[in-house]
Amino acid sequence: MPELAAHVRDVPVNQIREITEAAWTTPGAIVLSIGEPGFALPRHVLDAGIACLERDETNYTPNAGIPALREAFAKRFREHHHVDIGAERVYVVDGAQQGLHFAMSLLLSPGDEILLPNPGYPTFAMTSRLLNAVPVPYPLYPHNDFQPDIEDIESLITPQTRVLMLNSPSNPLGAVISEDATRQLVELAVRHDLWILSDECYEAFTFDVPHVSPARFDSDIPGEARVFTSLTLSKTYGLTGLRIGALICPPGLEKKMNNVMEAIVSCVASPSQYAALAALTGPQDYVSEARNHYRNNRDAASAVLESKGIPFLGAQGAFYLWADVSHVSGGDVRAWVHAFLADSGVAFAPGTAFGSIGEDWIRIALCGDQQGLLDGVSRLPARA
């Protein structure tokens, strides 16, 4: 048969899925390699999706989503992030991953460069490659607590650079970019006339530090604004399988957004939209209980790592711990996590899934039950 396109052949394997699927076929495995919230959905959210089906509201919706849901996203963003946006800037998307593809489709031409965090979520690079763009990793170093350095990023900018990708709270790191650093990153983008694509998937979950969206420092003048914000309800409300999120765009791009959305998915399934509306406008107990659960799991797992002398990054947000296993990984953490699963029945995500700086590190998901988490982490070999 004819060959697939080169940019598809070159997309690397997602090492998170690789180890997780191996764990799913291992009887009794403790799966700490994937970020899947483990709580039952609130009844009012389920009922809203079911009611949509029962009244047979299953036709197309507007490209940008049902108006009430767009306003609910805008209202939440105004209240949580102090950014004065209207519903016209909100586009309902089929989960954050589709939102990122949507944004990159708007911003990147073949050969354009996008600056991505290293370590960073693997689909950032995968998606840009699918668009024939060039992912350029910018380093997040352990000695700097995995925070972005303005000079490091600026040194990588070329005439082909079009987009600066930010992710805070970070997956896989649990790091949160400070208000001052966020302002400096927006100023950097202005100096070099770059777009900013901000993945804020975990914005609801920070611990003792605020989440600051780059949109707070963006211009509100059409033609001057440059920040796209990607949101999802997958993590905030545990709606991973309903595939629902939002992309907030700079002002003045509404017509172009509609055209591109039509070409990608047309619109998001209506039951998911009504479930999302109920989640955003109904009781928020799920979010507060989930945040407390993740914090408690973080603290309990951190204590086990400390007792074993294993270095780790103290998570300020999201629901992951980033731990240094260089004392056992032998310079090939991808191979080590598979061997550890076979020997100990525990799956961790290898740090190399997130970039070259992740070698000798693992990501530990904190979102499941605490007993399973502690059992899994306790099986890690202590550092001598």
Instruction: Classify each residue of 156-186 as buried b or exposed e, where b means 16 or more C-beta atoms within 10 Å of its C-beta.
Output: ebeeebbbbbbbbbbbbbbbbbeeebbebbb
- Model confidence over 283-333: pLDDT tens digits? 999 999 999 999 999 999 999 999 999 999 999 999 999 999 999 999 999
pLDDT for the residue 123: 95
Q: Where are the beta strands (DSSP E) in the chain?
A: 30-32, 90-93, 113-118, 134-139, 161-167, 195-199, 227-232, 245-248, 312-313, 320-324, 346-350, 361-365
Element of type H or E holding 286: helix 285-307
What's the pLDDT tens digit per position in 343-362? Answer: 999 999 999 999 999 999 99
Q: How confident is the model at residue 10 (pLDDT cuts 50, 70, 90)?
A: confident
Per-residue pLDDT, averaged over 182-206, amounts to: 98
User: Is the domain covering 6-41+285-378 a CATH 3.90.1150.10 domain?
Assistant: yes
Architecture of domain 43-281: 3-Layer(aba) Sandwich (3.40)
Place of tokens 């009430």: 68
Q: Do 113 and 128 contact (CB within 8 A), yes or no? A: no
Residue 192, pLDDT > 90, answer yes
pLDDT in tens, 116-127: 999 999 999 999
Q: What is the pLDDT of residue 178?
A: 97
Instruction: Name the average pLDDT for the chain.
Output: 96
pLDDT at 193 over 80: yes
pLDDT bucket at 384, cuts 50 / 70 / 90: confident
% of residues, the chain, pLDDT over 70:
100
pLDDT above 90 for 199:
yes
Q: Which two tokens stand for residue 151?
A: 């000079």
What number is the average pLDDT over the span 137-162?
97
Calculate mean pLDDT across residues 3-25. Answer: 90
pLDDT score, position 266: 95
Instruction: Read off the tokens for 182.
Output: 């966020």
pLDDT of 64 above 90: yes
| pLDDT for residue 370 is more than 80 | yes
- Closest among 150, 145, 146, 135 to 186, alpha carbons compared: 150
At residue 374, the pLDDT reads 98
39 pLDDT more than 90: no
Residue ranges per domain, the chain? 6-41+285-378, 43-281
Residue 324 pLDDT: 98
Rounded Cα distance between 303 and 151, Å, is: 35
Residue 228 and residue 250 in contact, taking contact as beta carbons nearer than 8 Å:
yes
43 CA to centre of own chain:
26
**How far separated are the first and last CA of the chain, in Å rounded?**
54
In this prediction, residue 13 carries a pLDDT of 84
Structure tokens of 2? 């004819």
Classified as helix, coil or strand, 32 is strand
Determine the pLDDT at residue 6: 84
Greater confidence (235 vs 13) lies with: 235
CA distances from 287 to 163, 198, 200, 332 (A): 31, 21, 15, 37
Decide if 273 contacts 69 (C-beta within 8 A): yes
